Amino acid sequence: MWLVAKFSIFALIAISVNLVGQFITSHIYEGSLELFVAMVVGILGGLITKYFLDKKFIFYDDASGIKGNGRKNFSLLGSWFYHHSYFLGI
């Protein structure tokens, strides 16, 4: 049950980071691509936050550096791009 609570709390934190990132970005950049830039910044902020919270507190992965995280981070970036490319219209 504790694992479900941690997943839920981390999801709420990631959602908050996403929304705050979008809000700040939309106030800083007011151009023709405002919505797109705000969405990308928010999604990346939430994704990176969730990745590190899960890595540390769910999977207890202490790997660090390029050798320890290189393959994982590359896979994560590819997965993000694949799943969000349709939504972002790329």
Residue pLDDT tens, the chain, 90 long: 788 899 899 999 999 999 999 999 999 999 999 999 999 999 999 999 998 898 888 888 777 665 666 555 556 666 666 666 666 665
Q: Evaluate if pTM is beyond 0.85.
A: no
HSE value, Cβ hemisphere, 13 Å, CA-based, for 69: 13
What tokens does 56 get? Answer: 């540390």
53, 14 contact by CB (below 8 A): yes
With a CB cutoff of 8 Å and minimum separation 6, the contacts of 34 are: 25, 26
- Cα separation of 37 and 26, whole Å? 8
